[in-house]
Structure 1
Amino acid sequence: MPSVATQVDTSSRPLFGGSIVADLPAAWRDVSDFRQVPDNQEVFVSPDSDPQREASLIVEVLQRVDKDDLDQAVRFHFESIAHDNDAEESHVGRTWSFNDTQRPILLSGTQLVKKFGKDSEPAKQVKIWVALWRIEDKNVDLVMSVNVAGTEAEEQERGEDEVGRIFERAARSLSIVDYGLFA
């Protein structure tokens, strides 16, 4: 199967029954087709046959965290992902935002994670991107996260660049069609 780096064709994909749409790689698989996914999540994975290079994208509807500053809020969600991953370390690389969209705040960073939390496995660096849309009047944080596991240095950089572009396209294109989702 092709690697993450070759997945460039995107299509507008409906999320949460069409309440949200976003441009995602056409070849990425909807995890709910083969595994149970919580109702507050949409999960997609790259079709890469090598689990060491597999990338995933998760969109979650979460209760608003008690952080008024959006930079602190997106960092909170990043650290929450680190906690869920049992990460040995986590580092925020940068935060930024787009000027021409619904203005999510974005973050990229790394986490040192053992695959499936197995102590017998060496921890690997995972590159993670997080986007946060705050839906103030619904008391909701809409969070998109994308991650790709580390591989050899040069290939990892190419894969991270491509997955980073996938993340930015998905974040830039995300559109909330029906705010009734957050009722």
Structure 2
Amino acid sequence: MQQPRALFGGALSAFIPHSATDTSELREIPDNQEVFVHAHTDQSLIVELVEYQARVADQDAARYHFEDIAGSNKASEPAGASGVSGVEPLPKPELSLSQCSSAWMLTGTQCVSKFNEDASNTVTLRLGLFRLPQFSTDVLVTFNDPQSISPASSSKVDSGGDHTEPWTLQDFQRLLLSLTLHDPGLFG
């Protein structure tokens, strides 16, 4: 039986999907992030602690963070797409992170380039947002799921017969529902 994975030194925990590699074992990661990559796809998961945006209404906060991520990634919207395709509240009774004032899941699409390449990849971005105003923190959980990888991108890999299953929306939802706070001292 899979056990929840400790995050931020055990201050948080969640069920992280199969085939997840902790990126901090490969490169330096900022202290406010936990980053995991799928061992055989270009999918990634990021759990990030960011400043609570008090001036942004709860129902608009997920879109605010989506646009902030797009700006940081120098992302563009796919041709004929609006970027965000949906935002829905996560039902509080089903959440393990009971300290949040509200929780949201956003689904959107961005065109991003890795390592400042010219080649751009179309990525479905799912964002879970947990609002914790009492700690002046928003917890973001981002699932990057590439849909179309440019042949010129460094992300292009030869599948070479590897049949490892990619992460699914259900894997992401399980992570969101299982996210648990063990030590509020994490927030300062």
Amino acid in the other structure paired with 1:135: L
Deviation at 1:97, TM superposition (A): 2.3
Counterpart residue number, 1:30? 22
CA contact (8 A) 1:85 1:117 kept: no
**TM-score of the aligned structures, taking structure 2 as reference length:** 0.79
Cα pair distance change 1:163/1:85, threshold 3 Å? farther
Amino acid in the other structure paired with 2:144: N
Deviation at 1:69, TM superposition (A): 1.5
Within the alignment, does 1:171 sit opposite 2:176 as a pair?
yes
Deviation at 1:115, TM superposition (A): 2.6
Amino acid in the other structure paired with 2:124: K
**What is the CA deviation profile of residues 83-102 of structure 1, one whole-angstrom value per residue up to 9, with x for unaligned ones?**
11111226111111232213
**TM-score of the aligned structures, taking structure 1 as reference length:** 0.81
Match of 2:144 among 127, 144, 147: 147
Amino acid in the other structure paired with 1:169: R
Counterpart residue number, 1:3? none
CA contact (8 A) 1:10 1:25 kept: no
RMSD of aligned alpha carbons: 2.0
Counterpart residue number, 2:63? 75
SS in 1 for 2:16: strand
- Partner Cα distance (1:39, 1:46) in 2: 21
CA contact (8 A) 1:126 1:149 kept: yes
- Partner Cα distance (1:67, 1:57) in 2: 27
SS in 1 for 2:176: helix
Counterpart residue number, 1:104? 103
CA contact (8 A) 2:50 2:140 kept: yes
Counterpart residue number, 2:84? 92
CA contact (8 A) 1:131 1:144 kept: yes
Match of 2:42 among 51, 54, 65: 54
Deviation at 1:82, TM superposition (A): 0.6
**What is the CA deviation profile of residues 40-82 of structure 1, one whole-angstrom value per residue up to 9, with x for unaligned ones?**
100000001xxxx411000111111233421211111111111
Task: Give the ranges of 4+ consecutive aligned residues of structure 1 lying more than 4 Å apart after TM superposition.
Answer: none
SS in 1 for 2:71: helix
- Partner Cα distance (1:135, 1:11) in 2: 25
SS in 1 for 2:173: helix
CA contact (8 A) 1:59 1:142 kept: yes
Counterpart residue number, 1:43? 35
Counterpart residue number, 1:12? 4
Deviation at 1:35, TM superposition (A): 0.7
Counterpart residue number, 2:135? 138
Counterpart residue number, 2:53? 65
Relative to its length, the structure with more helix (as a share) is 1
SS in 1 for 2:130: strand
- Partner Cα distance (2:180, 2:2) in 1: 15
CA contact (8 A) 2:123 2:148 kept: no
Q: Give the paired residue count.
A: 162
CA contact (8 A) 2:126 2:143 kept: yes
Amino acid in the other structure paired with 2:184: Y
- Partner Cα distance (1:168, 1:106) in 2: 9
